[in-house]
Structures are given as structure tokens and as C-alpha cells.
Chains A and B, each alone.
Chain A
């Protein structure tokens, strides 16, 4: 279970303070798949980055299975948190082979010892892991990742992030940089992997249809706050048009709203 309590984050950009997260409260049950929508600057990516430990929060706590993780550095949290980024280049090491990338993913959070890395046993393990995914990657284990297309590379990034079944999976617009057809394929693969492994997931997306069709619960963020939180029947009845309407409404309100920003941390 992931529990986020009154999470605040503020950025100081050239002396101007911006509230990126303004008191986020969110609890996710184990295996719950949450989709997050919101306009640019709503705080979606900031939320994921604070969860992953890329940024430290100004106030508030994050606990995972009742263990406080909000003060642990990024690389320690990575033991429990898998991530896929928008840019396929970020989630994979281009100059290394597919097998080497997989090895590093298998060793997530573990000590890297001085034994030979790509043993025959490991290669067999990788082949067995990739085969059911039907991507054809198992036949190209020694290909350098940079020779893959953006879509293949993002599929691999997804596999790397989920192979050790992390406690939490963070997907930050991970299909946004791909062409529509490839994006659909990756989204299908995402759904399949998450369901098969019952992964607790937070997925940021700009695609309203994906936000409502995939996953169990949808939140909308606006100016660092959660303004909509739907699941179950309410979510099933929600429409893409309804969501967009809500968006437009919020933007109008924002223009009228002139409240001052809080002090920094």
C-alpha cells in the first residue's frame, strides 16, 4: 500500500516561487492501477518525481507498506519503485546490449558483485522472460539497444522497470513520444504486464481515453491539487467529453483566481 500524506513541493525558478504540489493526499491499495490526467504544470510529473526521490518534498510524507520512504535517496527507493519515462532514451542504456540492460534490471537494488555478468544461466533466464512477451527481443539479446526503434526501446524500458515486480510502478507519459500506432501497442503491453503481475501503478497520460479505459481509478490534477478522483461505477460512466469539459472549466476558474502563492521551503 502506498500512502501519500499532505505532500507539498515548491520550485524556485529565477526568484519566482511556484507551487508544484499543494497538499496531495492519496492512498493506493496494493495492485491498484491509477491514471493521472491534468494540464501542463498541474504537478503530475512532479508528483512522480517526488515519489521516486528525484526531488525532495517540502512537507508531507510518503509511506510504502507502512515504511516511511520520503527521506530515502532515489537509488534506495529504486529497490521498490520501477519507472518508465516519456523519453525512450532515458529508460535504457543505448550503448549496451539488450542482455546487459536486462541484467541490470534483474539486479535492481541488489549488490553488483565481481562475477561474470552474462553467464549462460542468465542468458537463458532472459530468453525465458522475454519470450512470452512476443516482442522478438529474445532473439536479439546481443544487439545494442541504440539499434532498436523508439517503440522497441520503450517496450524494453517497460520490461526493465517491471521485471523484478516492483512494489510501485511509475509511468510518466511513457507513450507520448511514440507514433499513435506504436503508442497503442505499448499501452496494450503495459496493461498486460501490470495485470499479470498485479503491480501498484501510477500512470500519467495526456490521452483521456487511455486514462478512463485503462486502470482502476483516475485522478485529475490542477495547480498541484487533486481536483477529481473517480473509480468504480462513477468512472465507468465517465466520458472523455466529460473530462475535457472539467478541464476547460478549471482553466476558466484559474484565470479568475488570483490567490497569492505560499512561502517556499
Chain B
């Protein structure tokens, strides 16, 4: 059980981070690379604050707000300043690296013997080895329920539609620029939140801890999407499931004595497989499965005219 614990804990943190990536990648339909810096930003802000004597709760809250700002900057670059979304993310990510160093004052802030959230839970009488697990489960459930609700509100439906068809939303009177900025702020707030928790869990914040996070987040989202797709509920559950599958795959690969340095390559290959598999499923499926069920009111078979 205990050898499994870190794998489960890491899956939970990754699920949290991947839910942030889900907002940008799936809901807003844009690849946001801010992640690589907003993840360590969350850790940097909260670690620095905890070391300076602030309560871990305040530290996490400020980390979330910092992530929100980072996402908003990427959003403003891509909408108001007309920089391509991909480049906007890269620019914010690059700039934030220096900001993270400034916040911490050095590349690494250790949190050993500091009053972190884990210590707070431990003080409630929980055995030390389960504090991380409890915090992550509670955080993931809260965030999952929050997202499920939010994306089904009037506002959330408008945000999803903006990602799906921004021309239509403009024509329906929605300020799609603002919608994208808010979406990216929300996405990076969640990512900074997971970064903050992860920093406290591993006992330090490091300026390089976000390297490769985008692709790992995408891996969780895309694997999840390949398994569960459809309603918001299914998508959110899919992301969590994807995080577990991805981390389990990594766990087993590492146990096969593959060097840790090969992790990135394995992740990239996993993402490619997850992206290609659903296409194959479509190609080799028997014809009767592909046929659409609906015959429309003009007597023509649905799907004859367009494939979105």
C-alpha cells in the first residue's frame, strides 16, 4: 500500500493541474503554454509566504490569485494585442521564469519544518503519511464539483461555446475577448493552486519544477478524452481518470528500470498514441457502427453534409 501512496498522491495533483489544462485546451480550444511557469509560480508564491510567516491558507489563496493574473496576461496578449495564442503563452511563460526567481530570491525555497497545509492537517490528528492524500482528495473533489457546476451555468455554457465557435458567440453579443481572458485566468489559477499544493507536498518550491508540465497536463487530458467524452461531467471525470492512467503508466515504466531522464520522451510518445488511437478506431470500425442513427426532416441522412 505505502509504495503505491506516492503514485496515487501524484496522480491526484496531476489531475488538479490537468483540470486547469482542460479549461484552456478543451473548453477554450487553445494550447496555453503558460502552465510551465504558472505551476512553479503557485509553489514559489506560497512557499515564500509560508517561510515569511503567513498562514498556509493565505499563501495558497495568494498563489491562486497570482496564477489568475498570469493567465489573464496571456489572455490579454492574445486577444487585445493580437499575438497568436501559442506565442502569448510562450511569452508569459518566459517572463514568469524571472518573476518566479524574483519572488523566491533564489532558485529553491525549502519548506521542511515549515507550517504547511500538510502540517495543519497533521495537527488535526491525521497520521503524517496520509496528510497529502487527504488534502489532494479534498481539493480535487472541490475543484471537480466547482468546474462541473461552473461549466453548466449560463456563463460556463457561453464560455464553452466561445471555445467551440467564437464567431457565433460574437454574433450573439458575447465579448469573446473577455471570455477568453477569464477562461485563461481560471485555468492558470487552478494550475497555480496545484503547484502550490505540490510544492508543500514535496517540501520545497523550485523554479524548474514546471518544466514539461504542459505536455504532462495534455497527456492526462487527451488520454482522458480518449476514454470518456461527451457531457461536462464525463469530460471532468475523464481528465481525472486520464491523470491516473498517465501517472500509472509512468510508474510502471520507471519500475522497469527505465532512466528518469527518458520520462519526457515517454510522455510525448504517450500523447501521440492517445491522439492517434481514436482516429484509428474511426477508420477500422465496421460500417454499421459509423452510420448515424438520425434521418433528418428533409429525408437525408444526418452527417452526409458535414463533419465538424
Contact = CB atoms under 8 A, between A and B. Distances in A.
B216 interface: no
B306 interface: yes
A174 to B, nearest CB: 13
Contacts of A185: 298
B167 A90 contact: yes
Interface string A231-260: 000000000000000000000000000000
Contacts of B153: 112-117
B70 to A, nearest CB: 23
Interface in B201-239: none
Contact of A75 (B156, B176, B292, B296): B176
A224 interface: no
B296 A114 contact: no
B296 to A, nearest CB: 4
A146 interface: yes
Interface in A106-132: 107-110, 112-118
Interface stretch (B43-51, B90-98, B112-120, B157-165): B157-165
B308 A182 contact: no
B158 A135 contact: no
A151 B154 contact: no
A90 B173 contact: no
Nearest to B299: A181
Contact of A95 (B164, B171, B298, B302): B164
A88 B298 CA distance: 15
Contacts of B300: 149, 151, 179, 182
Nearest to B29: A95
A149 B174 contact: no
Contact of B303 (A74, A115, A149): A149
A104 interface: yes
Interface in A143-178: 143, 146-153, 160-161
B172 interface: yes
B306 A88 contact: yes
B301 interface: yes
Contact of A100 (B149, B161, B173): B161
Contacts of A149: 296, 298, 300-306
A204 interface: no
Contact of A108 (B150, B173, B297): B173
A95 B308 contact: yes
B175 interface: yes
B101 interface: no
B175 A75 contact: yes
A147 B161 contact: no
Contacts of A161: 171
B277 to A, nearest CB: 20
Given A74-B170, A75-B176, A104-B169, A117 B154 contact: yes
Nearest to B158: A112
Contacts of A182: 298, 300
B154 A146 contact: no
B302 A148 contact: yes
B59 to A, nearest CB: 27
B174 A75 contact: yes
Given A93-B161, A96-B160, A116-B152, A147 B173 contact: no
A43 interface: no
Contact of B155 (A112, A146, A151): A112
Given A76-B173, A109-B173, A147 B292 contact: yes
A83 B153 CA distance: 25
Nearest to A99: B157
Contacts of A135: 297
A92 B165 contact: yes
B162 to A, nearest CB: 9
Given A112-B155, A113-B154, A93 B173 contact: no
A38 interface: no
Interface in B261-308: 292, 294, 296-298, 300-306, 308
A203 interface: no
A112 B301 CA distance: 35
A151 B305 contact: yes
A89 B172 CA distance: 15
A105 B173 CA distance: 9
B278 to A, nearest CB: 15
B126 interface: no
Contacts of A91: 168, 171
Interface of A: 52, 73-76, 78-79, 82-83, 85, 88-96, 100-101, 103-105, 107-110, 112-118, 135-136, 140, 143, 146-153, 160-161, 179, 181-182, 185
Rank and list the top 9 A-B pairs by shortest CB-CB distance, nearest first. Answer: A78-B173, A150-B305, A94-B308, A146-B308, A109-B173, A112-B154, A112-B155, A93-B164, A149-B296
Given A114-B155, A117-B152, A149-B306, 14 more contacts: A75-B170, A83-B171, A92-B165, A93-B161, A96-B161, A100-B160, A100-B161, A104-B169, A107-B172, A108-B173, A114-B153, A117-B157, A118-B157, A147-B292
16 contacts: A75-B173, A75-B174, A78-B173, A91-B171, A103-B154, A108-B172, A109-B173, A112-B153, A115-B153, A116-B149, A116-B153, A136-B297, A147-B292, A148-B294, A149-B304, A151-B300
